[in-house]
A and B are shown apart, each in its own frame.
Chain A
Amino acid sequence: MKQNEQPPKWAIKMLRFICHPDFLEEIEGDLLEKFESDCRDENPSVAKRKLGKEVFQLIRLNIVFNVGAYTPDIKKWVLLLAIALLFIAISFIPFLSGHYSKLAIGASALAQMAGFFGLALIPVGLVWLIIELRKSNYRNLKINRWQNGYYLSLLAGIPVLCFLSLLLILAFPEMNGIEWSIACVVFAAMIVFLSIRIYRLKNGVLNNFNTAPLYLILIPLVAFCTKNFLIEKVADTSRSKAIVQSGQIIRALDKYYLENGAYPGSLDVLKGKYLLAVPCPGIIGIGPYEYEKTGETYRLSFVQWLHWGATKEIVIYTQSGHSFIKGHFASFDTHYPGWRYYWND
């Protein structure tokens, strides 16, 4: 037996890096015992090679992260899923049927914003997740939450909420009373939720998987996918609905033209004989139709907010199907004759 043979240092270092702290003592002991036995039976260089191979074969999910140690807490996963779905729903609200609401547009813009600025949080979430998964003796461990930054991260949520609320107020100064009430209730609910979380953390014992880093990873990804792959599809549907809804205005305008030989100066002129009332687009994120007489003809339009980046699309009907829009960076045809939409920043 060669007493002086030592296992390769790189293999031991790699083992300590790979192996979850919960398993390290046991597995390191096994490897050293096997190395000792191999040194007795074979050439030391073969024993060292075998040890290196064994260390590489330890790169397994269960060994690196001790996945089986976490007791599943269905409530936490359901909450994570619900919040992800909430982000999708909030992003979609302006494209649904209903009364025009600037609050819905603002909320959608904020939810979509998470799909851009939030992407910067994904690496943070991944590192945090790895740290969480590698914690030793995780279960039933009292954690010093100040040292671990739990309180600080939760307290940081309050200025973030204040900032977002301020942004909403500044972006949409024309919100009405009901919208203000909704915004205040949501804001108050968030403050209460955060306060309860902080209080519970003070007294709690962390006994299962901490899903906090998953929020940092999942929410931006969900918001990003919603913004980039789904919003334009739902915007197509809402645009089409608003165009169809405008049909009665166009018919009334045509009737007015036949009887008077010219188009009216405003839509209000149509009220009564030609239209009972000027219809609304009927989409939450689309404001009222705008009418403009342009010489012998006219222009009917509406605006639909599309992306968080203040991208609004101006959807315009002209009899020729073309109009000049200042500052647009892209324009597209619709399936409806005379209607075309323009994207503006």
Chain B
Amino acid sequence: MNLGEFEELVLLIVAIMNGKAYGIGIIDELEKRTGRSAAIGAVQTVLKRMEGKGLVVSEFGEATSERGGKRKRHYTITAEGKQVLAQKREQRITLWRAIPKMILDV
């Protein structure tokens, strides 16, 4: 399955947060771990797309006062999502291994 670079990052963050991933939480975690900031619209679009592909599932969580009484939607990685991530990892490892050693010597 095709997975864009940003989709892969968001999916990794969802996996890291282990069932506690939700919109703003994912953005904060992404910034903390990669230094990359993202708009809510961009993250939500990717989450909806990945949910459509069956890579993540979601369910409503608790409502808090700081959210104006609105509920969070928690995302969890599916078995298919895990498989796609594993494939991506394998691809990257294979590519890294293919680089001649002298190229990496600085």
Contact B40 A34 (CB under 8 A): yes
Q: Which residues of B contact A26 (CB under 8 A)?
A: 22-23, 44, 60, 70-73
**3 tightest A-B contacts by CB?**
A29-B70, A29-B67, A30-B23
Residue B41 is within 8 A (CB to CB) of chain A in the complex: yes
Residue A27 is within 8 A (CB to CB) of chain B in the complex: yes
Q: Which residues of A contact B45 (CB under 8 A)?
A: 60, 62-63
Q: Which of B1-51 contact A (CB under 8 A)?
A: 22-24, 27, 39-42, 44-45, 48-49, 51
Residue A42 is within 8 A (CB to CB) of chain B in the complex: no
Residues of A within 8 A of B (CB): 23, 25-34, 36-37, 53-54, 57-60, 62-63, 66, 68
Q: How many CB-defined contacts (below 8 Å) exist between A and B?
A: 74
Residue B100 is within 8 A (CB to CB) of chain A in the complex: no
- Nearest chain-B residue to A26 (Cβ)? B73
Q: Which residues of A contact B48 (CB under 8 A)?
A: 23, 62-63, 66, 68
Listed by A's residue number, 9 A-B pairs whose Cβ atoms lie within 8 Å are A23-B44, A26-B70, A31-B40, A33-B24, A36-B66, A54-B40, A62-B44, A66-B48, A68-B52
Main secondary structure of the interface of A (DSSP, over half): helix
Beyond known contacts A29-B23, A33-B24: 15 more, CB 8 A cutoff:
A26-B23, A26-B60, A26-B71, A27-B23, A27-B40, A29-B67, A30-B23, A30-B44, A31-B40, A57-B39, A58-B40, A60-B41, A63-B48, A68-B48, A68-B52
CA distance A28 to B24 in the complex (A): 11
- Nearest chain-A residue to B66 (Cβ)? A36
CA distance A245 to B27 in the complex (A): 75
CA distance A30 to B75 in the complex (A): 14
Shortest B41–chain A CB gap in Å is 4
- Nearest chain-B residue to A27 (Cβ)? B44
Shortest B60–chain A CB gap in Å is 8
